[in-house]
Structure 1
Amino acid sequence: MNDKSFTFQTLHPDTIMDALFEQGIRVDSGLTPLNSYENRVYQFQDEDRQRFVVKFYRPQRWSAEQIQEEHQFALDLVNDEIPVAAPIQFDNQTLLTHKGFFYAVFPSLGGRQFESDNIDQMEWVARYLGRIHQTGRKKTFNARPAIGIQEYLTEPRQVFETATLIPKALKANFLKATDALINAVAMHWDGQAETLRLHGDCHAGNILWRDGPLFVDLDDARMGPAVQDLWMLLNGDKAEQRMQLETIIEAYEEFSPFNSDEIALIEPLRAMRFVYYLAWLIRRWDDPAFPKNFPWLTGEDYWRSQTTTFIEQVKVLNEPPLQLTPMY
């Protein structure tokens, strides 16, 4: 997936309008860009005053087969009455093409932001994650990858090695901290955990609230351990996280079993996300949207802070994982 040099400069409003018109949709409101850096996502209203969202996928990131697996997972979830944003079918197809772009159309499903510090909402989300994983276990992804060290650590390390964004004076220390973090994760990651189809990026920004949770953006769906969809709900200090995790697991297990051994994967998964995210920013730097929205990436203070973050995460990995309160 070598997409480093791609930008969306050729995706003009007329191109988007033409693509929608091909599917019988006449845009009546103009196109409102939504917050998405990886892909290009726009909300609009048609001539019948129905609201939709159109998503143009970044070329060369996912293959047609991989996107279709994402779409099928969303449709499977809707079929199991789980509130998720799923693509609309046109002539039995959800994945559409126009001028070399893959795109899909979704209903616009409004809602307010999920409150990550609201324990009642967290409990409700956890129940639905249990149901999502019920559905996720029924099939496997064959084209989409699984969460693992190669994609999340080894390949990003190669990106750092050649990155010109990292100041030369700081690069050696940053790479040393990266290597220490990779080694620490490897000691805790044996790749033996049960894997299933996951949302993959289930943070608060991908959960809306409308008389209950609504899950959006399955773009990072992949195979992985169940805890991947749980740990990003945690926030606060260790005591708060322990209480939240107990609440989450209790609610989750109303619909799906949870292997408590996976709790030990939370900090390795967090470390992998740190490294993968940073490499993602570097890979996307040629896209004009990234320098505009992440200007601090060129500053020395940022890279010093990332080095510190990696060093501190190694310390966390060397500590005992979160422990649930024993049940008597």
Structure 2
Amino acid sequence: MNGENPFAGLTPDFILDAIESRGFYSDGRVLALNSYENRVLQIGIEEGAPLIAKFYRPNRWSRAQILEEHEFCFELVEQELPVVAPMITKGESLFEYKGFYCALFERKGGHAPELDNLDNLFTLGRFLGRIHRVGQAKDYSERPALTPQTFGHDSIDYIIENSLPDEVRMPYESLARDLMALVDDLWQKAGSKRAIRVHGDCHVGNILWRDDNPHFVDLDDSRMAPAIQDIWMLLSGERDQQQKQLMEIIEGYQEFCDFDVSELQLIECLRTLRMVYHSAWLARRWHDPAFKHAFPYFGSVQYWQEQILDLRVQFAELQEAPLTLPHY
């Protein structure tokens, strides 16, 4: 397998052969969907509805880690939650085909939810409360947790060692270390927060809105994390707007699951961790030609200068008072 381009072998014939190995026969229509970490494709099926095929990036998750995520999906479906879980074919949800782990999914239609609609946020909150109620039932044993170390310090170490141009090395490293010292302090002050199984990447791109309800897709980044990880990415706009949005989400959430209000002080910490993790993710994947095509600006001096500006803004945000829920 090509280390520089791990998906080089995914030719149309290879993809169709993999699908046919599970008993499905394609009509030849293959549409690549928007995915960088893995390869996700819509496959036309003879005399049937199209399927979604997911080819996992080699050496990212182990078989056991993938199956843990699948099991979480099945638990959610058992509770009649609108999560798109992998299909069971030949008695298994994950199969291996010539070096690739693969899974098949039913195709689900829908559009991104309108987050400026408070009723939609209330509905999302209700479903997240139900998802987290299931997520609390047991822990992941194979998948890593989202922590300041795994998402923050490890990311910054990788960036400094592998990606920074000399022109920005000193200012970026100094700011990033100061930023993480503040995150560590705030995380510690927040006390011992319960980590649960969460979606992990719960933004509008992973929610399909259909028939006035959400359908959650792509739990590939699911891991152990505070519950607020699945909530903060649904907030946007000025502080007063975010305050109203948060109240709607939590009002729905609390119908099914208790929410620890003290987790609100982790929102800006988690936003910071996502920012540095994203840059490290691009750096780690830079050998993949798809990343160079999609993110041509990455790695330039200008890119890192813009990151420094954004992180300075975030440093100030971390020192502001967190959002509140006065009625809880």
TM-score (norm 2): 0.95
Correspondence for 1:47: 46
Post-superposition shift, 1:7?
2.7
Map Cα deviations across residues 158-198 of structure 1 (whole Å, 9 max, x no partner). Answer: 2112224x322112111111111111100011372011110
Contact 2:54 2:103 in 1 (8 A): yes
Alpha-carbon distance in structure 2 between the residues aligned to 1:267 and 1:234: 12
SS, match of residue 27 in structure 2? coil
Task: Report the residue type matching 2:305 in the other structure.
Answer: R
SS, match of residue 72 in structure 2? helix
Task: Report the residue type matching 1:187 in the other structure.
Answer: D
Task: Report the residue type matching 1:174 in the other structure.
Answer: Y
Identity %: 43
Map Cα deviations across residues 210-265 of structure 1 (whole Å, 9 max, x no partner). Answer: 11100000000001111100000000011100111111111100110001000011
Cα distance change, pair 4–241 in 1 and its aligned pair in 2 (3 A): farther
Post-superposition shift, 1:4?
7.7
Task: Report the residue type matching 1:240 in the other structure.
Answer: Q
Post-superposition shift, 1:6?
5.0
Q: How many equivalent residue pairs?
A: 324
Is 1:173 matched with 2:171?
A: yes
Structure 2, unaligned runs of 5 or more:
none
Contact 1:6 1:59 in 2 (8 A): no
Post-superposition shift, 1:310?
1.2
Cα distance change, pair 326–112 in 1 and its aligned pair in 2 (3 A): closer
Correspondence for 1:227: 228
Post-superposition shift, 1:70?
0.6
Task: Report the residue type matching 1:203 in the other structure.
Answer: H
Correspondence for 2:15: 16
Task: Report the residue type matching 1:157 in the other structure.
Answer: I
Is 1:257 matched with 2:258?
A: yes
Post-superposition shift, 1:49?
2.6
SS, match of residue 232 in structure 1? helix
Correspondence for 1:215: 216
| 168-177 or 210-219, larger mean C-alpha shift | 168-177
SS, match of residue 276 in structure 1? helix
Correspondence for 2:307: 306
Contact 2:264 2:322 in 1 (8 A): yes
TM-score (norm 1): 0.95
Task: Report the residue type matching 2:128 in the other structure.
Answer: L
SS, match of residue 147 in structure 1? coil
SS, match of residue 16 in structure 1? helix
Task: Report the residue type matching 1:43 in the other structure.
Answer: Q
Alpha-carbon distance in structure 1 between the residues aligned to 2:274 and 2:27: 40
Task: Report the residue type matching 1:208 in the other structure.
Answer: L
Cα distance change, pair 134–322 in 1 and its aligned pair in 2 (3 A): same
SS, match of residue 307 in structure 2? helix
Correspondence for 1:74: 73
Correspondence for 1:135: 134
Question: RMSD of the alignment, in Å?
Answer: 1.5
Alpha-carbon distance in structure 1 between the residues aligned to 2:120 and 2:28: 34
Post-superposition shift, 1:29?
4.0
Correspondence for 2:298: 297
Contact 2:5 2:289 in 1 (8 A): no
Correspondence for 2:198: 198
Alpha-carbon distance in structure 2 between the residues aligned to 1:255 and 1:94: 29
Task: Report the residue type matching 2:155 in the other structure.
Answer: P
Post-superposition shift, 1:131?
0.5
Alpha-carbon distance in structure 2 between the residues aligned to 1:7 and 1:251: 42
Alpha-carbon distance in structure 2 between the residues aligned to 1:105 and 1:133: 25
Correspondence for 1:186 among 160, 184, 200: 184
Contact 1:7 1:286 in 2 (8 A): no
Post-superposition shift, 1:326?
4.5
Contact 1:37 1:289 in 2 (8 A): yes
Alpha-carbon distance in structure 1 between the residues aligned to 2:58 and 2:298: 24
Structure 1, unaligned runs of 5 or more:
none
Alpha-carbon distance in structure 2 between the residues aligned to 1:287 and 1:240: 39
SS, match of residue 28 in structure 1? strand
